[in-house]
Amino acid sequence: GIKCGIVGLPNVGKSTLFNALTKAGIDAENFPFCTIEPNAGVVPIPDPRQRRIAEIIKPQREIATTMEFVDIAGLVAGASKGEGLGNQFLANIRETDAIAHVVRCFNDDNVIHVANQVDPKADIEVINTELALADLESCEKQLQKVTRTAKGGDKEAVAMKALLENKLLPQLNEAQPVRALELDDNERALVKTLHLLTTKPTMYIANVDEDGFEGNAHLDTVREIAETEGAVVVAICNKLESEIVELDDEERLEFLNDLGMEEPGLDRVIRAGYQLLNLQTYFTAGEKEVRAWTVKVGATAPEAAGVIHTDFQKGFIRAEVVSYDDFIAHNGEQGAKDAGRWRLEGKDYIVQDGDIIHFRFNV
C-alpha cells in the first residue's frame, strides 16, 4: 500500500487532521487484507468515476483504492540528534512514500504555539533542518565508504563521491532538501540508492482559519517556500474538517454548500498525495464487484495486473481494455463492444488513467 506520513511541530493541527482522516476512513473489518496500525488511518481515494461505472453495472459491491496516512507526532528540534524519541520518528518517516507536512497558518490565542508566535517560515525550517541533518549524517557515512572504494577506481564510487561532495553535502549543510537540487538522470539514480528523507515527495498542508483561505500572509509564505523546493501546497481548515466528518451524508452536502465548497478539504489532501506520487487509477468491473486499483503513471498492462496478484503478472496473456469515457458513452461493456471501442492490448500497453480492464492470464 501507499503510505503518507503526517509530520509537523506540536500544536499545528496534526491530530485534528489525522482524526478527521481516520473518521472519514474505512473500517478495518471491511478491509481484511489491510493491517491498520493504531497510528495509521486508511482512507479511500475519492473518485466519482467508480460510482458512475457501478451505476451502469450494478455490482454486488464497490471497493475503492486506498492510501494510508500515518501520524508521526513528536518531530521537534533536536530529533536528528536522537533527543527524546527523535530517532524513532525519523525511522518512521523513512518508511513512508510521501510526507504531508502540516504548517500552522491560523491565529488563535487560545492555542499555544511552541515558539510563541505563528511563523510558518520558522516552523518549516525547524522540521526541514531535522530532516536535512538526518540526511547529512547518512551522506557523511556514505562519503567515508565511497572514498575508500573510489581510490580503487570504481566508477560508480567516483561518481557518488563527486555527487556527495559537490551537491548533496553542500545542500544539506545549508539545511536545504535534496529534492530542491537540479540533478541529471545519472545523479538521480545514485541519489535513489541513498534513501534520503529530503528526497521524499512532500506536500505542505497549510492549516488555515475558516476565513483564512484568501489574503492570508502565512499561507502566501508557505506557497513561496514550496515553490522553491518543488513541493505542493494544500490549504485546509482542519478544525472545519473535523466538524464535517461528524455529519451524515445529507447534512454534509448542505454544510459544504453553505460554505461554497464542492467537496471536503480532506479529499483534496488525499488526492494531492496521490498526484504527488504520480499515481493513477484503473478499474476492474464485473457483476460481483467494481473495484479501483492504484498504479504508477506509465505502468504497463502486466505491471497493472501485478497490483492485483503477482500470478496475474507472471501469467499475463492479454488485457481487454476500454477507456472510462467510452465505457460511459456507450453505457457499459456490451455497448462499447458494439461500438468497436473494446480493445485487446498486449504486454507493452501503457495503462491510462480510468481504464477499465479485464486481464487474461495463465495460471
Q: Is 242 annotated as a binding residue?
A: no
Q: Do residues 219 and 213 make contact, with C-beta atoms less than 8 angstroms apart?
A: yes
| Stretch of 39-47, 106-114, 125-133, 135-143 lying at the interface with ligand GDP (CB under 6 A) | 106-114
Contacts of 182 (CB under 8 A, 6+ apart): none
The single residue among 13, 265, 273, 306 that binds ligand GDP, judged by CB under 6 A, is 13
- Name the minimum Å distance from CB 53 to ligand GDP: 36
Q: Please tell me whether 87 is known to bind a ligand.
A: no
Quote the CA–CA distance of 135 and 168 in Å, as a whole number.
Answer: 9
Query: 362, exposed or middle or buried, with CB in 10 Å at 0-12, 13-18, 19+?
Result: exposed
Say whether residue 302 binds ligand GDP (CB under 6 A).
no
Among the residue ranges 158-166, 236-244, 250-258, 340-348, the one whose residues contact ligand GDP (CB under 6 A): 236-244
Distance CA 360, CA 100 (A): 38
* Displacement of CA 357 from its chain's centroid (Å): 24
Q: What is the 3-state secondary structure (H, E, C) of 163-199?
A: HHHHHHHHHHHCCCCHHHCCCCHHHHHHHHCCCCCCC
Helix (H) and strand (E) counts in the chain: 15, 12
Site for ligand GDP in 145-184 (CB under 6 A): none
Q: Output the smallest distance, CB 18 to ligand GDP, in A.
A: 7
Q: Is 15 a known ligand-binding residue? A: yes
Strands 343-345 and 3-7: unpaired
Of 238, 280, 294, 313, the one binding ligand GDP by CB under 6 A: 238
How far, in Å, CA of 323 to CA of 30, rounded? Answer: 29
Q: Is 89 in the site for ligand GDP (CB under 6 A)?
A: no
Interface with ligand GDP by CB under 6 A: which range of 61-69, 154-162, 176-184, 231-239? 231-239
**How far apart are the C-alpha atoms of 207 and 103, rounded to whole Å?**
6
Told to check if 209 binds ligand GDP by CB under 6 A, we report yes
Cβ closer to ligand GDP: 69 or 106?
A: 106
Residue 263, C-beta contacts closer than 8 angstroms, at least 6 positions apart: 46, 256
Burial code of 299-322, b = ≥16 C-beta within 10 A, e = fewer?
A: bbbbbbbbbeeeebbeebebbebb
Q: How far apart are CA 275 and CA 273, in angstroms?
A: 6
Q: Does residue 15 interact with ligand GDP by CB under 6 A? A: yes
**Of residues 213 and 361, the one with the C-beta less far from ligand GDP:** 213
Degrees (nearest 5) of the Cα angle 12, 15, 21?
120
Please tell me whether 129 is known to bind a ligand.
no
Nearest to ligand GDP of 15, 149 (CB atom): 15
Nearer to ligand GDP, 239 or 291 (CB): 239
Nearer to ligand GDP, 16 or 147 (CB): 16
Taking CB under 6 A as the criterion, the residue among 179, 218, 239, 291 binding ligand GDP is 239
**Shortest Cβ 73–ligand GDP spacing (Å):** 6
Nearest distance from C-beta of residue 23 to ligand GDP, angstroms: 13
Nearer to ligand GDP, 217 or 350 (CB): 217
Q: How far is the CB of 110 from ligand GDP (least distance, A)?
A: 7
Least Å distance, CB 32 to ligand GDP, is 30
Place of cell 494544500: 234
Neighbouring CB atoms inside 10 A of 43's CB total: 23
Out of 207, 294, 300, 313, point to the residue binding ligand GDP (CB under 6 A): 207
Q: In what order do the strands lie in the sheet with 289-296?
A: 61-63, 289-296, 279-285, 356-361, 316-322, 343-345
Among 3, 10, 268, 345, interactor with ligand GDP by CB under 6 A: 10
Instruction: Look at strands 316-322 and 343-345 and give their pairing.
Output: antiparallel
Does 101 engage in binding with ligand GDP (CB under 6 A)? no
Query: Residues comprising the binding site for ATP?
Result: 11-16
Residues that bind ligand GDP (CB under 6 A): 8, 10-16, 106, 108, 111, 207, 209, 237-239
